[in-house]
Structure 1
Amino acid sequence: MEDTPKVFKQEVAIGRAARRPLCYYGDDFTGSTDVLESLFQAGLKKTVLFLEPPTPKLLQEQFQDVDCFGVAGVGRSLTPEEMERELRPLFMTLKAAGAAVVHYKICSTFDSSPGTGSIGKAAEIGRDVFGGRYIPLLVGVPYLGRYTLFGNHFAAGGAGGTVHRLDRHPTMSKHPVTPMAESDLRKHLAQQTALKTALLDIKALDGSYADVRERLETVIRQEQPDLLLFDVLDEQRLEAAGRMIWEEAAEHDGLFVIGSSGVEYALGAVWRKNAGTSDAAAESRRLRVEASQAGPLLVVSGSCSPITEAQIGHALQAGFAGIRVPMEDLLSPETREAAKIALQQEAQQWLAGGRSVIVYSATGPNDESIGRLREVLSARGIRSEDSSRLLGHALGELTRELVRQLGISRVLIAGGDTSGYVTRELGVYALECISILDPGGPLCRAYANEPSFDGLELVLKGGQVGGVDFFERVAGYRYKG
């Protein structure tokens, strides 16, 4: 591992002084920590995720030894107009940071629609700010059970990790905000932007690297695309895509890329090969945990995924205490304060007695509370899309008070949007990956101005992440520093 930073310095001298290999913006919070995990496995000395764009002074004085950094956002929940206001200045900031690759990180299930979290809108802004021959689009992540074949996307989900075409996926086809009705990512993207998307398909990625690279250039020359989608089936093709992306960045003085954490896994494979670092060494970094009696765990869930549903049920059977969030009472001015106090007191009672607690808004996608909440929001003239913000704020206040009063050392937050809102309520301004428990579920150390939250260990879990016993595993492991 010690060789890796030296190799980066040689490889990243792209048209100017040596630069960081990568910086990124995550369009949801748990997805942003997913990138931390992949860069951690790639062997980078230190990668930090900021909740707001870092100032040059902060990077220079406190995070001088950072190889890569990211900025966590909520782009996945924004309208195109809101994305324009948020992303354009942020992209300019990332461009000024001078990284070799600037990555707009999206969910590996391509969560987006023309009106919410439009990846097409992000591509338009990125094309305008960064230019370049084309924008690489890489979504597949074999490590997470995500595959792209002939432009159609597939994802594991449900019992036994069965792989489904995205428009038939048990979660994504029924997503409450961005349901996936089309598995061909080119057609799905065409509903969001007039930018042209070409494909380097699975057959074009076969054979020698020289042949693959020649096919890439043929596609670019003949189709002149704005975006180029890479098929991904296995680690070999993922690495080939990473090599082409890295070479494009080197040849054209930097590159803007859109994709899942597959981008980092692809680049990481290239970086490890350049550094002569084995995959076994990367695996040894992943397993820096050991069983322990870590004390009670606070789980805060705003997810309605069936995977999270199974995890909640398994943890309750294992002895966790479950507390349903009374969202209707929390939204009413007449009952809000009493509901907050009652919720906090019940959670505090269990935690103070040494019992792990799950505070949840819904048990799963078929929970009746979801429909009732939408009715309450509609009656109050509030968009259903705003439910994540309202829920996140309420859960953030609860988490803040419980951690402050009880000195809790580890919190698991389930749900991408929920994670973003809760960490902001805690005053966390940066996160660093310190270990990995399950794919997509890294254990992070928080940086915060308030001592109660500085050093807090956080696991930020997306709805599709983790095995059925994930909550118990988080509760029973500690970091071996």
Structure 2
Amino acid sequence: MPPTRSRPQSRCAERPSVSARCVSEQVQSDQVQSGGVQSGGVQSEQSSRGLRAAFYGDDFTGSVDALLQFSRRGWRGRLFVGLPGDDALAQAAASCDVVGIAGIARSLSTDRLDDELRPVFQALTRLGPHVLQYKACSTADSSPAIGSIGRVIEIGREVVSDAPVPMLFAQPDFGRYTVFGHHFAAEGATVYRLDRQPTMSTHPTTPMTESDLAVHLGRQTALPIGAVAHTAFGAPGDLAAALHDSPAAALVLDALDETHLVAIGEAIRSLPGPVFAVGSGGLSHGVAAADPGSASPPPTRTSSSGPILAVSGSRSAQTRRQADAAAAAGWLVRPLPLDGSDAVLDEVIAALGAGRSVVLTSDDADIAAAADRPVLEAIAECAASVVSAAVRAGATGRVIVCGGDTSSRITGLLGVGSLSIAANPWANIVLLRAHAADPAIDGLELLLKGGQVGEVDLFDRILALGEPGL
């Protein structure tokens, strides 16, 4: 069975390989075992109703967001880093409400999606969840050539269910809204129509030139794509009937607020399963909010302290603003040394050793120094090398990684086998605990964030969580 993610060749020192492993927000480092969890590792009783949902995340940060949305509403969950065997999945399903697999489909060419997704959808469907979610980005960025959601719909209908596919990309608490089928996304304090949003309209890989999501996705598949406006949700049961009876293969659903998310969650819950659905963390939110669980939500802070090393593979304007704000607050900010310069590495370790936090950026890095390597690969390898060196030197145990694709690559290069939720300080910010065979990496605290995620002062606010008395 093919793996769900590949690890790029690392230029770092050789590290022991780590097989795909499961993770729960309630699993501690010494309880995580290769391929599964020790007996008693999940500190909660088995859900009496069995597995309620499963999901595949199209990138690393999106997978973490989905897990967070479910866990906030009392659902017990585990996130696998890659596709494990059926036994490990079954063990997770026996004790959890939701099981997820972190993948890389968002960055894959369309001809690679079948090999990536079909084995995952088959494995998750065998677990018997009522809902199987393809967790997509809340900006729906995709194209006929890269990360094609149209192709995802085709595969999901072939493997999971040929019923109409509910699609919810809105995530109101993250500034993402769908109104009469058109999508809107906030940047800073301003909400833009998607095709005019400064970052997404000029995205280097999948620029969003169309805000009508049915039109946008219709360009990626020959299947008919429809939409249901929030004004047509009607009385309880009406939306479920609209979803069940639609002649369209998939339907874009409006959402402006919590009531719409819950209405969609309730409609999906009432449909005959399995339901294949596509959407953002807003979809995870709605499904879980319509049927809350009994587990405790994640804590708001951890016991970690000391300086932070932030590395960025994102060219987002928001990440640049965050780096500039950190510089103004006294952090050392430098471009990633893509040329392999030891001088920058020495400066980073010295700063961290002196208690000064560091940000390494990529939007101003010397891309020409990447030579014949793909730029994203060069950035991830460089960042992972610096993180590894700093952690092994004992200079830091707290790391921020900016960029979804960068996060998935760096965790692989570092040999991270699985991740657990350590804390949810506020909003959609989540601190993770790394679990790895390498003792230097095991226990590392990570914030893996999308380029546009977080307020301008995010880095300094995370740093403050480790200050005594706060």
Alignment TM-score > 0.5, same fold = yes
Matched, 1:9 2:10: no
Task: Tell me the residue number matched to 1:421.
Answer: 409
The answer on whether the counterparts of 2:352 and 2:395 sit within 8 Å (CA) in structure 1 is: no
Distance 1:212 1:76 in 2: 29
In the alignment, does 2:276 pair up with 1:256? yes
Closer, same or farther in 2 for the Cα pair 1:342/1:99, shift >3 Å?
A: farther
- Residue aligned with 2:204, SS: coil
1:315-348 C-alpha deviation (Å, 9 max, x unpaired):
1111111121133x2xxxxxx4xx2x33322211
Q: Output aligned runs, 1:190-201, within 5 Å.
A: 190-201=218-229
Given that residues 239 and 269 in structure 1 are in contact (C-alpha distance below 8 angstroms), is that contact kept between their aligned partners in structure 2? yes
Partner of 2:128: helix, strand, or coil?
coil
Say whether the 8 Å CA contact 1:103–1:256 is kept in structure 2: yes
Distance 1:67 1:171, change over 3 A: same
Provide closer, same or farther for how the CA distance between residues 111 and 406 of structure 1 changes in structure 2, counting only shifts above 3 A: same
Letter in 1 for 2:402: A
Give the drift of 1:59: 4.7
AA in 1 matched with 2:48: K
Report the secondary structure of 2:232's partner residue: coil
> Is the CA contact 1:323–1:358 (under 8 Å) kept in the aligned structure 2?
yes
Deviation of the 1:142 alpha carbon = 1.1
Aligned: 1:180 with 2:180: no
State how 1:76-91 maps to structure 2 within 5 Å.
76-91=106-121
Q: Which residue of 1 aligns with 2:259?
A: 236
Partner secondary structure for residue 71 of structure 1: strand
Report if aligned partners of 1:440, 1:461 keep a CA contact under 8 Å in 2.
no
Structure 1 residue 58, shift from structure 2 partner: 3.6
Looking at structure 1, the residues matched to 347 and 46 of structure 2 have their Cα atoms a distance apart, in angstroms, of 53
SS in 1 for 2:410: helix
Calculate the aligned-residue CA RMSD, in Å: 2.6
In structure 2, do the counterparts of structure 1 residues 105 and 213 end up closer, same or farther at CA, with 3 Å as the change threshold? closer
CA contact (8 A) 2:336 2:382 kept: no
What is the number of equivalent residue pairs in this alignment? 425
Equivalent position to 2:123, from 93, 99, 102: 93
Asked whether 1:119 is paired with 2:149, we answer yes
Tell me the SS of whatever aligns to 1:406.
coil
Give 2:279's aligned amino acid. G
* Counterpart-to-counterpart distance in 1, 2:307 and 2:450: 21
Equivalents in 2 of 1:193, 1:353: separation in Å?
Answer: 55
Could you say which residue in structure 2 is the equivalent of 1:202?
Answer: 230
Which shifted more, 257-266 or 406-415? Answer: 406-415
Task: Name 1:308's counterpart in structure 2.
Answer: 319
Return closer, same or farther for 1:457/1:255 CA change in 2, 3 Å cut-off: same
Contact 1:410–1:456 under 8 Å retained in 2: yes
Structure 1 residue corresponding to 2:72, chosen from 41, 44, 66: 41
Structure 2: 5+ residue stretches without partners:
1-43
- 1:413 and 1:195 map into 2 onto residues whose CA distance is 37
In 1: Cα distance, 2:419 partner to 2:73 partner:
17
The Cα shift of 1:286 comes to 5.8
2:58 maps to a residue whose letter is D
SS at match of 2:455: coil
1:348 corresponds to: 349
2:444: which partner in 1? 456
Instruction: Render the CA deviation track for 1:294-322: whole Å, top value 9, x for unaligned.
Output: 11011111111111111111111111111
Unaligned runs of 5+ in 1: 11-18, 330-335
Q: Does 1:434 align with 2:446?
A: no
Q: Does 1:288 align with 2:300?
A: yes
Q: Name the residue aligned to 2:19.
A: none
Residues 67-76 or 351-360, more deviating: 67-76
Residue in structure 1 matched with residue 7 of structure 2 by the alignment: none
Deviations 1:388-428 (A, max 9, x none): 23311221222122212216222111111110011111211
Distance 2:307 2:466 in 1: 12
TM-score by length of 2: 0.84
Shift of residue 430, structure 1, vs aligned partner:
1.4
Secondary structure at the residue paired with 1:209? Answer: coil
Q: Would the aligned equivalents of 1:239 and 1:266 in 2 still touch at CA under 8 Å?
A: yes
**1:438 and 1:466 in contact (8 A); partners too:** no
* Structure 1 contact 326–361 (Cα < 8 Å) conserved: no
Q: 1:30 and 2:61 equivalent?
A: yes
Query: 2:26 maps to what in 1?
Result: none
Letter in 1 for 2:362: S
- CA shift at 1:211, angstroms? 3.9
Q: Which amino acid aligns with 1:435?
A: A
CA contact (8 A) 2:337 2:382 kept: no
Aligned amino acid, residue 105 of structure 2:
G
CA distance in 1, matches of 2:212, 2:162: 25
**Which SS does the other structure have where 1:110 is aligned?**
coil
> Aligned with 1:9: secondary structure?
coil
1:473 aligns with 2:461: yes
Aligned positions of 1:365-444 closer than 5 A: 373=367, 380=372, 386-406=374-394, 408-444=396-432
**Deviation, structure 1 residue 288:** 2.1
| Correspondence 1:265 to 2:285 | yes
Confirm or deny: 8 A CA contact 1:165 1:183 kept in the other structure: yes
Task: Write out per-residue CA displacement over residues 197-229 of structure 1, whole angstroms, 9 at most, x where no aligned residue.
Answer: 111111102x42144444x15xx53x5111121
Q: Within 2, Cα distance between the matches of 1:62 and 1:155?
A: 35
**Cα distance, 1:62 vs. partner?**
8.3
The structure that is helix-richer by fraction is: 1
In the alignment, is residue 189 of structure 1 matched against residue 217 of structure 2? yes
Provide the rounded CA distance (Å) in 2 between the counterparts of 1:232 and 1:61.
Answer: 35
Aligned to 1:333: none
